[in-house]
């Protein structure tokens, strides 16, 4: 061994480089050899990483010994090293592992060829190699820029550079050498405006370090310079700014571009879809969420329709509250005619959505809202129970505290008054419980409408007493409340990336990296507000008044898999609580730091922030001793320095983004661990990547096992081949009772300042009463909105999971003990407790929830044997339930139709 050591000592430096297939010479990493060998060992049932490391060391030694006499500089090719791996494995008697490695090489070659075909490239760069094929397909289909012949003109690396460069331009313009938050400077605005005529001349001429500004970056530079100069905040003229950039005086911002680039390339964070599509590109529109006003006059209605078309064209989705429109049959004084009602005007927007594609790439999405007091509410509730109606809309009923009080009235008086939108005079009375029953029945039938709880949305709204008043509308998926003409920029942190291995091989969460990502992502999203090219002037004004951002997460299911923590467990809920608190606290803290150097959002002094009010329910509703962070100190900092963004956290739908990041959607549990895809040449399985690795490490990865899981609704529950500990950890949406879906959303909602896109999944055998109880529990847990999806509730069943159920009682799920205890100890509304008691009893919970906390008494459990859910049916080939991009079938997740083939999402956020 001494001789080997001497050999390594004298030659190791000679193998510090390796020649890639495209001819590039890059740093040599022995760990890549170890990892490749380990994968081959795992595939043959020998998951031994120390052995992989020893074999990799021998590969290096043999490579050096064969090359030593031939040259003094050893730069082996990738193929040389891979050939040597095969040789070493065979020498060691690991013929099966060698065979697996050869197959691995072959598969890798096929993958490389497929990637080059997707991207229309002759070779791949490091980013292309890091992204899997599904990610590249999504990027190629929707995100990468194309020329007039529809040929791809950039790769993922160039896309991320394009976005990162634009985002960093905002940092450059706020450099203290040229920007003064206090104002008082006068510059010649027309000097900067003149450069709008020179965009083509300056495209690619200026650079920040190694990153060049294209003409759209340059356009954004002009636009935001003018904005700051109009507020007296630019210390230098525009020509002087250009001189500073040209002379390299701003090259230190190359590091910031690199930080944003690495944040996205690592897929630690991804911004919403319009930002990836349009940053540094012609459209320049970077927001996903918009809300428009719909006043009760024809001019206002037509303006809203025109503005909606411009938003769809630029890549956004629209939410509109139609409650101010007079009801059907009401008198129209100007014509002596009668009004056609809100739903008729929804048809206008629906038609516009049909004919205007978002950025030429996808159809828009809409949220139509009618408040419960409107005389047309019952017609609105049942509108989508018929096929083919409002296909481009999600619809929701907005409720306020007066409706809630009528609903839960302890005296049994559930009368609720409908009012004229025009005069606010009473029109007639209805029974609040009958209306909630109608809403629940419609949602049971068609998955719509949802409910939006405007009382919860506005309870901690710090702008409610400013000139904006209460919030009354949301974006298409309901997670983002907005004022009229306000927009929001969203982005999601990939939680599954923030783990590190401990000595024992298990994973732990990396809280330090999580904090760094939250802070950098907050700056990223704030910069997007300044770099955005808004489709309508009113949107630019309203957005910059509040500077609302929405930082959220994705990948919670995969993170919990890695940490071996069941989603619907006490540990799971407590961990989610910490994650949620961190994202809001740290983003707000970073927003305060931004306010110190760039200024608070313009409406700050008119809001209740100056009184110490913040839009975070958890601060008020959870005991301070349970808080992880010092919120009182943060509030004092806000009162002193202001805050840059009026709201900072939102959990958006991440259907497409999670495909790019190769992780689970948002806060959802996975909808299936394995599902089968049939194509003309055969069939193959999609498998959750974390679950796949665990199967392989435990010698369970076979086609037979995958088939059984796919035929078991994509779940491992009840399969004798799968160990109990794996069944407990790897839970899917169908394994989790709907009360736990609501609980998970409620845990996150306590800390998220905006709202959350999540679907409350229910099996096909639930009743409309279950749906109603989901609404009741959601309101009491503080949710701001709720969407329920009962399997089979669409007119033509959406493809959920293929195959037949192999165990009839496999999915007789019941609420977790955590939910039952939480309801007993925290829900004070007697009517809700009574309704939930029925649910717990029918679900077979061992002890019922006690209605009277003063006299707790366990009641006898009643076992109710529900029929097993029926196998999911494949929907008919209708256009509405097929992907408009690739014609594949859609699934429902996070309240949106999502294509698992190309990444199309019915919502604009992700």
Q: Which two tokens stand for residue 7?
A: 């050999």
Distance separating alpha carbons of residues 792 and 871, to the nearest angstrom: 10
Tell me the CA distances in angstroms from 579 to 552, 553, 572, 583, 627, one per residue in order.
Answer: 10, 9, 11, 6, 12
The closest alpha carbon to 813, from 786, 776, 845, 790, belongs to 845
Q: How confident is the model at residue 857 (pLDDT cuts 50, 70, 90)?
A: very low
Active site members: 475, 477, 479
Taking residues 404-414, report their average pLDDT. 93
In tens, the pLDDT along 339-396 reads 777 888 888 888 888 888 654 455 668 999 999 999 999 999 998 877 777 888 899 9
- CB distance 368 to 474 below 8 Å: no
Residue with tokens 């021998």: 58
Partners of 790 in beta bridges: 762
The closest alpha carbon to 84, from 107, 109, 108, 101, belongs to 101
Taking residues 55-61, report their average pLDDT. 85
CB neighbour list of residue 657: distance below 8 Å, 6 or more residues apart: 270, 272, 273, 492, 554, 910
- CB distance 895 to 643 below 8 Å: no
Provide the whole-model pTM: 0.88
Distance separating alpha carbons of residues 160 and 271, to the nearest angstrom: 11
Tell me the CA distances in angstroms from 370 to 295, 326, 378, one per residue in order.
Answer: 13, 11, 10
**DSSP structural state of residue 897:** E
Tell me the CA distances in angstroms from 556 to 91, 272, 559, 603, 842, one per residue in order.
Answer: 43, 18, 5, 34, 30
Q: How confident is the model at residue 40 (pLDDT cuts 50, 70, 90)?
A: confident
List the helix and strand counts (H, then E) for the chain. 34, 26
What is the DSSP pairing of strand 507-509 with strand 549-554? unpaired
Predicted confidence at residue 67, as pLDDT, reads 58
Residue with tokens 């256009």: 879
- CB distance 560 to 609 below 8 Å: no
Q: What are phi and psi of 433, to 5 degrees?
A: -70, -35
Q: Which letter, b or e, does each residue of 838-855 get, where b requires 16 or more Cβ atoms within 10 Å of its Cβ?
A: ebbbbbbbebbbbbeeee
Q: How confident is the model at residue 56 (pLDDT cuts 50, 70, 90)?
A: confident
Residue with tokens 């859910």: 869
Q: How confident is the model at residue 801 (pLDDT cuts 50, 70, 90)?
A: very low
At residue 204, does pLDDT exceed 70?
A: yes
Predicted confidence at residue 754, as pLDDT, reads 97
Q: How confident is the model at residue 845 (pLDDT cuts 50, 70, 90)?
A: confident
DSSP string, 501-550: E-TTS-EEE-HHHHHHHHHHHHHHHHHHHHH---SSHHHHHHHHHH--EE
Distance separating alpha carbons of residues 800 and 584, to the nearest angstrom: 33
Distance separating alpha carbons of residues 68 and 316, to the nearest angstrom: 61
- CB distance 85 to 33 below 8 Å: yes
Q: How confident is the model at residue 859 (pLDDT cuts 50, 70, 90)?
A: very low
861 or 890, which is more confident: 890
DSSP string, 514-525: HHHHHHHHHHHH
Predicted confidence at residue 514, as pLDDT, reads 98
Task: Name which of 59-63, 112-116, 400-404, 642-646 the model is least confident about.
Answer: 59-63
Range list of H helices, 266-297: 273-278
In tens, the pLDDT along 274-305 reads 999 999 999 999 998 899 999 999 899 999 99
Taking residues 68-81, report their average pLDDT. 67
In tens, the pLDDT along 897-908 reads 666 555 556 665
Tell me the CA distances in angstroms from 679 to 692, 831, 901, one per residue in order.
Answer: 22, 51, 12
Q: What is the CA 708 to chain-centroid distance, rounded?
A: 30
3-state secondary structure at position 854: coil
In tens, the pLDDT along 733-785 reads 999 999 999 999 999 999 999 999 998 989 888 999 999 999 999 999 999 99
Q: Which two tokens stand for residue 163?
A: 């976005």
Predicted confidence at residue 333, as pLDDT, reads 58
Q: Which two tokens stand for residue 657?
A: 């983004």
Q: pLDDT averaged over the chain?
A: 87
Predicted confidence at residue 873, as pLDDT, reads 30
Distance separating alpha carbons of residues 159 and 410, to the nearest angstrom: 59
Distance separating alpha carbons of residues 443 and 466, to the nearest angstrom: 35
Distance separating alpha carbons of residues 217 and 237, to the nearest angstrom: 19
Q: What is the CA 647 to chain-centroid distance, rounded?
A: 17
Work out the angle between the directed axes of helices 156-173 and 254-265 (0-180°, nearest 10): 140
In tens, the pLDDT along 665-680 reads 999 999 899 987 655 5
Partners of 415 in beta bridges: 431
Predicted confidence at residue 36, as pLDDT, reads 85
In tens, the pLDDT along 634-660 reads 999 999 999 999 999 999 989 899 999
CB neighbour list of residue 162: distance below 8 Å, 6 or more residues apart: 145, 154, 214, 279, 280, 281
- CB distance 452 to 784 below 8 Å: yes
Distance separating alpha carbons of residues 195 and 192, to the nearest angstrom: 6
- CB distance 573 to 747 below 8 Å: yes
CB neighbour list of residue 613: distance below 8 Å, 6 or more residues apart: 460, 462, 607
- Alpha-carbon dihedral 538, 543, 545, 549, rounded to 10 degrees: 170
Distance separating alpha carbons of residues 791 and 321, to the nearest angstrom: 28
- CB distance 654 to 894 below 8 Å: yes
- CB distance 524 to 267 below 8 Å: no
Half-sphere exposure of 135 (CA within 13 A, CB side): 20
Task: Name which of 61-70, 89-98, 238-247, 440-449 the model is least confident about.
Answer: 61-70
Predicted confidence at residue 543, as pLDDT, reads 97
Predicted confidence at residue 342, as pLDDT, reads 87
Q: Which two tokens stand for residue 327?
A: 């009801």
- Residue 124: is the preceding peptide bond cis (ω within 30°)? no
Tell me the CA distances in angstroms from 308 to 321, 346, 350, one per residue in order.
Answer: 13, 12, 10
């Amino acid at each position: 061994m001494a001789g080997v050591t001497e050999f390594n000592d004298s030659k190791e430096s000679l193998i510090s480089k390796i020649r890639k297939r495209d001819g590039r010479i890059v740093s040599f990493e022995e760990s890549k050899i170890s990892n490749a060998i380990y994968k081959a060992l795992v595939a043959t049932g020998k998951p031994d990483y120390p052995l992989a490391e020893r074999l990799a060391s021998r590969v290096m030694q043999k490579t050096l010994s064969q090359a030593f006499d031939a040259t003094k500089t050893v730069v082996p090719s990738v193929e040389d090293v891979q050939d040597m791996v095969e040789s070493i494995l065979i020498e060691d008697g690991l013929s099966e592992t060698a065979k697996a490695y050869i197959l691995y090489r072959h598969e890798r070659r096929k993958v490389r060829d497929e990637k080059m075909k997707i991207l229309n490239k002759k070779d791949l760069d490091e980013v292309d190699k890091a992204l899997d094929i599904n990610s590249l397909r999504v990027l190629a289909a929707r995100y990468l820029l194309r020329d007039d012949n529809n040929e791809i003109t950039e790769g993922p690396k160039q896309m991320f550079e394009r976005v990162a460069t634009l985002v960093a331009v905002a940092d450059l313009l706020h450099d203290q050498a040229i920007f003064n938050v206090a104002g008082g400077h006068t510059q010649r605005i027309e000097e900067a405006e003149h450069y709008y005529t020179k965009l083509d001349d300056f495209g690619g001429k200026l650079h920040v370090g190694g990153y060049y500004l294209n003409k759209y970056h340059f356009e954004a530079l002009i636009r935001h310079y003018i904005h700051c100069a109009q507020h007296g905040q630019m210390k230098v003229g525009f020509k002087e700014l250009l001189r500073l950039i040209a002379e390299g005086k701003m090259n230190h911002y190359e590091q910031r571009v690199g930080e944003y680039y690495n944040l996205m390339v690592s897929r630690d964070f991804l911004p919403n879809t319009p930002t990836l599509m349009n940053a540094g590109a012609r459209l320049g529109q970077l927001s996903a969420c918009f809300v428009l006003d719909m006043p009760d006059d024809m001019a206002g209605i037509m303006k809203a329709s025109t503005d909606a078309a411009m938003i769809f064209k630029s890549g956004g989705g629209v939410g509109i509250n139609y409650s101010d429109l007079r009801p059907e049959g009401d008198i129209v004084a100007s014509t002596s005619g009668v009004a056609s009602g809100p739903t008729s005007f929804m048809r206008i927007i629906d038609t516009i959505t049909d004919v205007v594609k978002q950025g030429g790439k996808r159809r828009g999405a809409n949220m139509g809202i009618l408040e419960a007091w409107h005389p047309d509410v019952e017609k609105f509730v049942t509108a989508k129970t018929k096929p083919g109606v409002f296909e481009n809309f999600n619809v929701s009923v907005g409720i306020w505290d007066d409706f809630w009080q009528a609903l839960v009235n302890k005296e049994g008086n559930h009368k609720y008054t409908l009012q004229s939108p025009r005069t606010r005079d009473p029109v007639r009375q209805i029974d609040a419980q009958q209306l909630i029953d109608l809403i629940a029945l419609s949602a049971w039938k068609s998955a719509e409408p949802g409910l939006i709880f405007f009382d919860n949305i506005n309870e901690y709204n710090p702008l409610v007493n400013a000139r904006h008043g209460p919030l009354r509308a949301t974006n298409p998926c309901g997670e983002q409340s907005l004022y009229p003409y306000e927009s929001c920029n969203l982005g999601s942190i990939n939680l599954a990336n923030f783990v590190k291995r401990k000595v024992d091989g298990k994973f732990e969460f990396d809280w330090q990296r999580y904090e760094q990502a939250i802070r950098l992502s907050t700056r990223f999203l704030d910069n997007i507000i300044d770099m955005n090219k808004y489709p309508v002037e009113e949107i630019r004004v309203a957005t910059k008044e509040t500077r609302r951002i929405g930082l959220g997460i994705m990948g919670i299911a995969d993170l919990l898999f890695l940490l071996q923590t069941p989603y619907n467990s006490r540990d799971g809920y407590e961990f989610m609580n910490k994650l949620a608190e961190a994202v809001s606290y740290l983003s707000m803290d970073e927003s305060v730091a931004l306010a110190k150097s760039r200024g608070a959002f313009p409406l700050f002094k008119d809001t209740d922030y100056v009184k110490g009010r913040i839009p975070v329910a958890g601060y008020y509703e959870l005991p301070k001793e349970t808080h992880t962070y010092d919120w009182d100190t943060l509030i004092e900092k806000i009162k002193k320095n202001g805050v840059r963004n009026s709201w900072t956290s939102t959990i958006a739908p991440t259907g497409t983004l999670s495909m790019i990041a190769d992780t689970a959607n948002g806060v959802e549990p996975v909808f299936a661990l394995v599902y089968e895809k049939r194509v003309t040449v055969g069939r193959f399985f999609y498998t959750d990547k974390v679950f796949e690795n665990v199967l392989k490490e435990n010698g369970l990865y076979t086609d037979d096992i995958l088939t059984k899981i796919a035929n078991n609704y994509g779940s491992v529950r009840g399969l004798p081949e799968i160990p109990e500990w794996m069944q407990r950890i790897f839970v899917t949406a169908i394994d989790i009772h709907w009360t736990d879906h609501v609980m998970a959303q409620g845990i996150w909602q306590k800390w998220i300042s905006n709202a959350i896109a999540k679907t409350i999944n229910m099996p096909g055998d639930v009743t409309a009463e279950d749906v109603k109880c989901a609404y009741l529990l959601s309101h009491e847990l503080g949710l701001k909105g709720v969407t329920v999806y009962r399997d089979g509730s669409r007119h033509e069943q959406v493809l959920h999971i293929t195959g037949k159920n192999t165990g009839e009682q496999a999915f007789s799920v019941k609420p977790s003990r955590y939910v039952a205890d939480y309801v007993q100890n925290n829900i004070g509304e007697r009517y809700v407790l009574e309704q939930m008691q029925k649910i717990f009893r029918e679900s077979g919970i061992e002890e019922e929830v006690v209605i009277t906390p003063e006299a707790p008494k366990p009641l006898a459990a009643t076992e109710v044997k529900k029929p097993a859910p029926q196998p999911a049916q494949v929907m008919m080939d209708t256009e509405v339930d097929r992907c408009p991009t690739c014609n594949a079938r859609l699934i429902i997740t996070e309240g949106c139709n999502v294509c698992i083939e190309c990444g199309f999402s019915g919502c604009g956020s992700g």
